[in-house]
Amino acid sequence: MQIAQILSPERTLSRIEGVSKKRALEILANTIAESIPGMDADDIFRRLIAREKLGSTGIGHGIAIPHSRLPGCDATIAALITLKAPIDFDAIDGNPADVLFAMLVPDQANDEHLHTLAALAGALNEGDYRQSLRDADSAAALYAAAIAHDN
């Protein structure tokens, strides 16, 4: 999986301050909707919230991968934000999250969804990669760090 294929600079925000889990999901939904014509931020937000109610997308090490299927979406879309202060994301290791990598996938993309999610989780499981994301002090630096894993 190439992160640059699913993420764009417009969907990358660094060191957001003072947010809750709900607000972070809202920021991710708005960020995606603002960059892609025809996307509805409220619908994305509701889908991300509904997915969280099924079980936390916090994978540990301060990382969360909120994700959902989205009818009308024809390719996987991602947004990445880092938080100035970590928030409780009900992660499996109990640690709060400060790196949130949201992913929307086409409604019918069963195998692709699982493969992309697994590849992203694998990348985010690498300590050096996580640290490079946390060290990014601007959106541009965060995007560059995120896609550096592609090389």
* CB burial string 130-146: b at 16+ within 10 A, e below: bebbbebeebeebbebb
Token pair recorded at residue 149: 């894993």
Q: Which of 67, 113, 115, 149 is catalytic?
A: 67
Is 67 among the catalytic positions? yes
Asked if 3 and 147 touch (Cβ cutoff 8 Å), the reply is yes
Residues 79, 108 contacting (CB under 8 angstroms): no
Catalytic residue ranges:
67
